[in-house]
């Protein structure tokens, strides 16, 4: 099925970008964002996501694919939230073309060649990262809401449910994470 292949490719692409964010060198300074005024925050199963670090928290616009990706990560890099928007029409030519609005994770938007909205949550388990992904077959809840976007700065909110992906590529439908109360206000790189 074309949708599953495309989704697998996008998930893999998102994870490679995540790995690139993880390997950036730390300048030795602590740029932890104040929890009260954090430009990126969320709850994972009703527990606060750790304070995001400025050097690992960003919005990237990839001009070759017109993809917009929001990455939130604390200084210890043991947890990560990645939000991805990928267009399928010629309406997105620059970062500013991701207009304010609600982008839900329903695959009908892929079928209609509009966009793909997806998200993931990763957590270090001591040996590697456990990864929870949005997967319409298992969870049907998720939205990225863009409130404002100047092309250089973006503000929005998000929530989603994600299912654990096992090492064999299948999903563990009994391990669902609920990510709620997500907000971001970040510069676009």
- Identify the bridge partners of residue 120 per DSSP, sorted by sequence position: 82, 133
**pLDDT band at 37, cuts 50/70/90?**
low
Mean pLDDT value across residues 117-125: 97
58: tokens are: 């960003």
Mean pLDDT value across residues 67-81: 97
> Is 16 strand, coil or helix?
helix
How far, in Å, CA of 153 to CA of 130, rounded?
31
More confident residue, 28 or 52: 52
How far, in Å, CA of 141 to CA of 137, rounded?
11
Count of CB atoms situated within 10 Å of the CB of 176 = 16
How far, in Å, CA of 142 to CA of 144, rounded?
7
Give the per-residue pLDDT at 34.
Answer: 39
Percent of the chain surpassing pLDDT 90: 75
| Of 29-38, 77-86, 92-101, the least confident | 29-38
186: tokens are: 């970040």
Mean pLDDT value across residues 95-121: 95
Which stretch of DSSP H or E encloses residue 51? none
Give the per-residue pLDDT at 145.
Answer: 98
């Amino acid at each position: 099925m074309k949708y599953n292949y495309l989704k697998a490719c996008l998930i893999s692409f998102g994870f490679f970008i995540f790995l690139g964010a993880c390997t950036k060198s730390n300048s030795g300074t602590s740029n932890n964002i104040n929890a009260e005024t954090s430009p990126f925050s969320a709850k994972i199963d009703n527990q606060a996501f750790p304070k995001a670090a400025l050097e690992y928290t960003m919005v990237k616009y990839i001009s070759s694919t017109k993809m917009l990706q929001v990455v939130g990560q604390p200084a210890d890099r043991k947890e990560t939230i990645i939000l991805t928007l990928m267009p399928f029409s010629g309406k997105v030519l620059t970062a500013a073309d991701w207009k304010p609005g609600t982008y839900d994770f329903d695959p009908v938007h892929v079928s209609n060649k509009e966009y793909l909205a997806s998200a993931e949550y990763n957590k270090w388990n001591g040996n590697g990262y456990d990864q929870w992904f949005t997967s319409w077959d298992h969870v049907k809840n998720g939205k990225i809401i863009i409130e404002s976007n100047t092309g250089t700065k973006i503000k929005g909110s998000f929530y989603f449910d994600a299912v654990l992906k096992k090492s064999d590529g299948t999903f563990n439908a009994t391990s669902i994470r609920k990510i709620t109360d997500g907000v971001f206000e970040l510069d676009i790189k």
